[in-house]
Structure 1
Amino acid sequence: MNRLHRLIATLGIAAVALPAAASAAPWQSIAARQSRIEQRIDQGVRSGALTRPEATRLRQDLRQLARREDQYRRSNGLSGWERQDLNRRFDALSARVRVEKHDRRHRR
């Protein structure tokens, strides 16, 4: 009986903890994500973590992503698939900003 109570308690804790952990990353609107990436690029240039060519390339990619968002919005708003596509692309761009900032190529 004691084992059964422990098992039920463990499953109950897991059922409560897992959804909370999955939602730990706050949702950001597309505009907020775009703004945050721009800020990170600017900060990287100011600190010297990004070279000017790296920053230029990242900004071009960000502008291209903004154009894609505009195309999606012009066609009757964003569908679920289009929102997922944009989120995936923003995730990839955000990861590239992080990699470029920490690649040990510094402006001299």
Structure 2
Amino acid sequence: MRTLTAFLFAGAALAATAASAQGPVNARQLNQERRIDAGVRSGKLTHREAARLKDQQASIKRYEDQLRAAHGGHLTERDKRLVHARQDAANAAILKKKNNRVRGRNHLKIG
């Protein structure tokens, strides 16, 4: 039992270390996805808009994975700038879609 508990704690510590090692790129990706989900819940995004924005996030993630694979599992400073530039574009798209006149299922018009 003690061995199992120690193993679980070691696994949790390893997962936390891996997540922090990937740094701000993944944190930003998670933040963008949360903003999309919040937009759907508030009615500022339709399900179709959200799906397109999530597809954009998935594309950025695939691009990041390709860059990591090309550089031995790490992102160079140039790679980080490229990914952040795509995230900047995604951020603008989320903002634009959330503030257009098209509303989601509950038709809220929150200022």
Task: With the length of structure 2 as denominator, give the TM-score of the two structures.
Answer: 0.69
Among 83, 88, 91, the alignment partner of 1:86 is 83
Alignment match of 1:65 (pick from 42, 60, 85): 60
Identity %: 38
Cα distance in structure 1, aligned partners of 2:57 and 2:27:
13
Taking the aligned partners of 1:29 and 1:107, their CA distance within structure 2 comes to: 30
Cα deviation digits, residues 62-89 of structure 1 (max 9, x gap): 0010000000011122122111110110
Structure number with larger C-alpha Rg: 1
**Aligned equivalents of 2:101, 2:30: Cα separation in 1:** 25
Match of 2:101 in 1: 104
Please state how far the C-alpha of 1:91 moved relative to its aligned partner.
Answer: 0.7
Alignment partner, residue 14 of structure 2 = none
- TM-score after normalising by structure 1: 0.71
C-alpha RMSD of matched pairs (Å): 1.2
Once the 2 structures are TM-superposed, how far is the Cα of residue 56 of structure 1 from its aligned partner? 0.4
What is the CA–CA distance in structure 2 between the aligned matches of 1:93 and 1:38, rounded to whole Å?
10
Query: How do 1:1-108 residues align onto structure 2 when only pairs under 5 Å count?
Result: 29-76=24-71, 77-108=74-105
Structure 2 Cα separation of the partners of residues 47 and 83 of structure 1: 31
Number of aligned residues: 81
Structure 1: stretches of 5+ with no match in the other structure: 1-27
- Opposite residue 107 of structure 1, the aligned amino acid is G
Q: What is the letter of the counterpart of residue 91 of structure 1?
A: D
Distance in 2 (alpha carbons) for counterparts of 1:38 and 1:106: 18
How far apart are the structure 2 equivalents of 1:91 and 1:68? 15
Counterpart residue type for residue 89 of structure 2: A
Structure 2 unmatched runs, 5+ = 1-22, 106-111
